[in-house]
A and B are shown apart, each in its own frame.
Chain A
Amino acid sequence: MSVKEDLGRMAGAENVSDDPMTLEEYSRDFSFAPPHMPACVVKPRDAGEVQGIVKLANELKLPLIPVSSGAPHLRGDTVPAMGGVVVDLSLLDRIIKVDRPDRVAMIEPGVRYARLQEELREHGLRLPMPLSPRSSKSVVGSCLEREPHIIPKYHLDVSEPLLCTEVVFGSGDLFHTGEAAGPGSIEEQWEVGRRQKSPMGFQTDIYRVLQGSQGTMGIVTWATLRCEVLPAVEKPFLVPSQRIDNLLDLAYRLVRLRLGDELFILDNHALASLVGDTPQEIERLSDDLPRWMLFFNLAGYEIFPQERVDYQEKDISDIAKVLGLAINPEAVSGLGAQRLLDITRKPCEDPYWKLRYRGGCQELFFISSLADIPGHIGTFRECAARARFTAPAGTYVQPINQGHGYHVEFQLPYDPASRGEKERAREVYLSAADALMNRGAFFSRPYDLLAEKMLNRDGQSMAALKKVKGIFDPNHVMNPGKLCF
């Protein structure tokens, strides 16, 4: 019996494909990861089928590439490095439970942001979300990638908002992380009022090992997520500046004092890409917008919501004044604060905002200390200039972990049809990564070509990760060729 037939027996023949056109879609993405064709694609319908597939892979020593989001992919983590079977989790798309009192949702990996946020809204809840994720982005996938969201005060840890998971390890064993492990089945736990809120195991936090693993440890079949109360009143603000240092100072103070909800900084290019619909509009906005913009949103909840917004606005005004900044609730250079809030409220409409300007984009992101951010930006610009990269590269700065670190992201737009543009983007990507690593940028989520660079700087972590890999995926069937595995 062929692999395709085996998989068809487990997941239904209609959910297995080796059609060349289909395989081609999974063989490459917008990253610089070398393309590889998978042997076939399977779409399991439940955890039992996922487990069967992983067990089969162990028997046959067959690589599995888990994919939860839809195209376009940007980071190379879902490009098969060694062929094998793509496990597309898009059919596992149930919102299993939403619980208002415990502020939690349980969902499968095929659930996208738009549907989840709509469902949560009906319960008076919301899930803190990354900055305008693409419409096809899996919520669970984003959480497993440790993508930062845009409400720093709710980013309690870099693992947020992920709580418990159900996972099929690479070994083929099914496991529940955190309090979901027991006692009792999930249904029995619900009966006594438990909602799988605590992600912690007794003396291990296995969910942390799954995060950032790029599918190399196992396949998550559901996850619980920490949700927050939907605001009753909101008031967004823009703070323009020609310099980033004073905006960083303001962001630091606001996050430290827990003033405001959403908060991030974009340069004119990134902001133009986020709000502009066409390349022409993006270019115009890039020219019109101030060099840097800090966005923050004030929110009031159930009790005296307007009073909360009012006192925060006054306190922030006082702080901004000291820094020589003006907070603006209306519009800056024609861009309304409310419009930007609306954009951050839902996933991005197609095409994805990072692809709008040139059709392709390479992200370069890392975590930084506050003080090093301006220097990192300068280093990146030097590298871009050296490579004669002329397209406007965007910059996005996101306070994370309640102000204990900053996600810094550069966006390198390029035309995928232009070999020259793509090559120059690649050159900047690699040279800037080296230069940034040398000056203290920490690539905590290194994808494709950066993984080896980053892990080679830390031999002990690499050795420890290999031990962990040996525990959960002893036959190395899960996404081989990624990270250091």
Chain B
Amino acid sequence: MRLKEEAYRVLESIVGEENISRDPAVLDGYAWQFGCELYGPEDGAYAEKAFAPSAYLEETGDEASLASPRGSRFGFRPVAVVLPADTAEVQAIVKACNRYGIKFKAHSTGWGPWSGCGTAGMVQMDLRRMNRILEINEEDMYAVIEPYVVWSTLQAETMKRGLNCVTIGAGGNCSALASITSFNGIGYNNYSMGLNERNVLGVEWVLPDGEVLRLGSLGSGAGWFSGDGPGPSLRGVMRGEYGAAGGLGVFTRIAAKLYQWGGPTEMPVENIDPAATLLKEFPENCALYYPFFETAEDRDRALWMLGENEVGYSASFMGRGLLAWGLGGSNREASDTVESVAQTFPRYAFILVLVCNSAREFAYQQKVVERILEETGGQNFALIEVPEVRSMVALLLFKGGNKVNIVFQRSGAFFDPGLFTGSRRTFTAAEKLSIDVINKYIEKGLVVDDYGEGSWGSLFDYGHLTACENETMYKSTDPAACGAVIELLEDLDGQMTEHLFRLGHILHQQLTDGPRGKCGHDTMGPLCDGYQVWQRRIKRAFDPNTAADPTMYILPEET
């Protein structure tokens, strides 16, 4: 599959020859994404619909090699990758793709199978040259950023000004703009700063037809401080709990909301190994608690008492399995931890961080926490008193990212089948259901044994909502293991739906249904008021040529 010369030269004229490539080795770099091994068909055969037809694409006889069988990390190879420098170049690329009937998919930092092209024959737009923090406005508390600004950079700059952002669990190396506009990602600090779905003000957005839409105050030239109106808010088209994953165009600049950070402007550390990075000094007016409880009910009661009394900077939880794997600097250490002590870890626990703005506030919050733990029988998990552990965990939670290597180091791959959002009454029940289902697959020996407790998550907005992911680790090169994870995804999604819990990860459905030529929304939609009808109409209205990769958003025709 190759892009015809005429189309390639037009794209080249937009970005310059040094910013476009069709070298297969380069292209494969974009096709390689964790999780791709899951969604290829078992037999490696591809339906015709796996290719995006265009008069400007020509077959080269190697189409079969584009097939990504189950167990291969290579997803679809794009026909070209282009690296625009600014919004005008993005717009020109999108217009060219519309003219030539070629689909495009934007890529910022990339994280998972939804980052690559959804079919063969697409142009991948790599936004890494657009990597500037354009403004940090302390008065209105936002930062104007481009797509390749990562959370850790943004956070380092904002903390210098006493502000912070919600770094997501995928880590500080991920694009902040992508999380806020196009995807999702939960983070420990959702507790006090909310989900990033709501952490956006003005947005600059190149629509799938190449027109530039500026949301809110930006559209009328008033600045970045508002993202809604005039009239109805087009943020409702831009995204839901998840973004459109590239299916509605390219976001080129946004104003990301920032929040007060009461901690130090810098946090010097020792060591760079994530397993051994230690704070040189524990910050003033900050504290870390790791209480555990006799029952899930006590844990939940304590969590929601904290929320209702608006105490804490982050309140999150981590399953014993994930915690055990995370404590090891190497596989051997982690294995030893899992086998020797993990089951002695408390089952019902959470981690609470206080970051206060004054000594008085700190004293008050500590007093409230102690009262709540007293009332709910919370006891201190001794492990957190080990200075190295305490320092490492505190740093992790202050920053709010994750020690992402945890989920890759054991077997090379992970997925999050048990992801759900909910509220107070469904939180524990849904988590338990996910553990039960995952354990069935652990017993079969097809996924890594973490007791089914690879879960982690956070409360949002002082406990108004919760989100939980239950990670499952598996061997990515083993088609049987990959098949088991797909089966687990379907099994758990089915059971969640049967129990009427709210699925947190609609893209799972896309992944499992996609290889069968079916759109996941056509499976979920009939169970949820037929929402897919409206989403599909939005896709058609805003992308009449289906130029933006629809595979992780919605296919334009019902399947």
Chain A interface size range: 35 or more
Q: Is residue A204 within 8 Å, beta carbon to beta carbon, of the partner chain?
A: yes
Contacts of B372 in A (CB 8 A): 303
Contacts of B215 in A (CB 8 A): 461
> A464 CA to B198 CA in the complex, in Å?
21
Q: Is residue A176 within 8 Å, beta carbon to beta carbon, of the partner chain?
A: yes
Are B304 and A101 in touch, CB under 8 angstroms?
A: yes
Are B232 and A198 in touch, CB under 8 angstroms?
A: no
Chain B interface size range: 35 or more
Contacts of A308 in B (CB 8 A): 364
**Which of B220, B242, B530, B541 makes the CB contact (< 8 A) with A442?**
B220
Task: Give a binary string over A212-252; 1 marks a CB under 8 Å from any B CB, 0 the rest.
Answer: 11101100000000100100000000000000000000001
B404-427, CB < 8 A from A: 421-426
Knowing A158-B228, A442-B222, A461-B219, say if A198 contacts B371 (CB, 8 Å). Answer: no
Task: Give a binary string over B341-371; 1 marks a CB under 8 Å from any A CB, 0 the rest.
Answer: 0000000000000000110110110011001
Q: Is residue B527 within 8 Å, beta carbon to beta carbon, of the partner chain?
A: yes
Contacts of B361 in A (CB 8 A): 311-312, 315
Tell me the smallest distance from the CB of B88 to a CB of chain A, in Å.
15
Are A404 and B140 in touch, CB under 8 angstroms?
A: yes
Tell me the smallest distance from the CB of A130 to a CB of chain B, in Å.
17
> A257 CA to B371 CA in the complex, in Å?
24
A162-195, CB < 8 A from B: 175-176, 179, 181-184, 188-189, 191-195
Knowing A197-B464, A468-B232, say if A158 contacts B211 (CB, 8 Å). Answer: no
B241-281, CB < 8 A from A: 241-245, 247, 257, 259-260
Q: Is residue B537 within 8 Å, beta carbon to beta carbon, of the partner chain?
A: yes
Contacts of A183 in B (CB 8 A): 497, 500, 502, 527-528
Q: Is residue B332 within 8 Å, beta carbon to beta carbon, of the partner chain?
A: no
B482-534, CB < 8 A from A: 497, 499-502, 506, 521, 524, 527-531, 534
- Chain B residue nearest in CB terms to A217: B232
Contacts of B221 in A (CB 8 A): 440, 457
Q: Is residue B24 within 8 Å, beta carbon to beta carbon, of the partner chain?
A: no
Contacts of B521 in A (CB 8 A): 202
Contacts of A128 in B (CB 8 A): none
Q: Is residue B296 within 8 Å, beta carbon to beta carbon, of the partner chain?
A: no
> A176 CA to B424 CA in the complex, in Å?
21
Q: Which of A80-88, A331-339, A423-431, A444-452 is found at the contact surface with chain B?
A: A444-452
Q: Is residue A321 within 8 Å, beta carbon to beta carbon, of the partner chain?
A: no
Are B421 and A189 in touch, CB under 8 angstroms?
A: no
**Which of B217, B497, B553 makes the CB contact (< 8 A) with A203?**
B553
Are B140 and A470 in touch, CB under 8 angstroms?
A: no
Are A463 and B234 in touch, CB under 8 angstroms?
A: no
> A69 CA to B541 CA in the complex, in Å?
33
Q: Is residue B153 within 8 Å, beta carbon to beta carbon, of the partner chain?
A: no
Q: Is residue B330 within 8 Å, beta carbon to beta carbon, of the partner chain?
A: no
Q: Which of A11-19, A262-270, A363-371 is found at the contact surface with chain B?
A: A363-371
Are A202 and B524 in touch, CB under 8 angstroms?
A: yes
Are A307 and B367 in touch, CB under 8 angstroms?
A: yes
Are B538 and A202 in touch, CB under 8 angstroms?
A: no
Task: Give a binary string over B301-318; 1 marks a CB under 8 Å from any A CB, 0 the rest.
Answer: 000110011100000000
Tell me the smallest distance from the CB of B506 to a CB of chain A, in Å.
4
Most buried by A among B225, B231, B304: B231
> A455 CA to B219 CA in the complex, in Å?
9
Most buried by A among B305, B535, B554: B535
A392-427, CB < 8 A from B: 401-405
- Chain B residue nearest in CB terms to A301: B309
Contacts of A463 in B (CB 8 A): 211
Knowing A200-B240, A367-B226, say if A252 contacts B231 (CB, 8 Å). Answer: no
Contacts of B422 in A (CB 8 A): 194, 198
Q: Is residue B103 within 8 Å, beta carbon to beta carbon, of the partner chain?
A: no
> A403 CA to B137 CA in the complex, in Å?
12
Contacts of B216 in A (CB 8 A): 442, 444
Q: Is residue B121 within 8 Å, beta carbon to beta carbon, of the partner chain?
A: no
Given contacts A209-B233, A252-B139, A444-B226, 9 further A-B contacts (CB under 8 A): A181-B531, A208-B234, A213-B232, A216-B232, A303-B371, A303-B372, A460-B211, A471-B537, A483-B231
Task: Report the 8 A-B pairs with minimum CB-CB distance, sorted nearest first.
Answer: A193-B425, A208-B236, A444-B229, A182-B528, A458-B219, A200-B241, A442-B217, A201-B240
Residues of A within 8 A of B (CB): 101-103, 146, 156-159, 175-176, 179, 181-184, 188-189, 191-195, 197-198, 200-214, 216-217, 226, 229, 252, 256-258, 301-304, 307-308, 311-312, 314-315, 367-371, 401-405, 437, 440-446, 451, 454-455, 457-458, 460-461, 463-465, 467-468, 470-472, 483-484
Pull 13 A–B residue pairs with CB atoms less than 8 Å apart, ordered by A: A159-B233, A184-B500, A192-B426, A202-B524, A209-B234, A217-B232, A308-B364, A442-B220, A454-B220, A458-B219, A460-B212, A463-B211, A465-B232
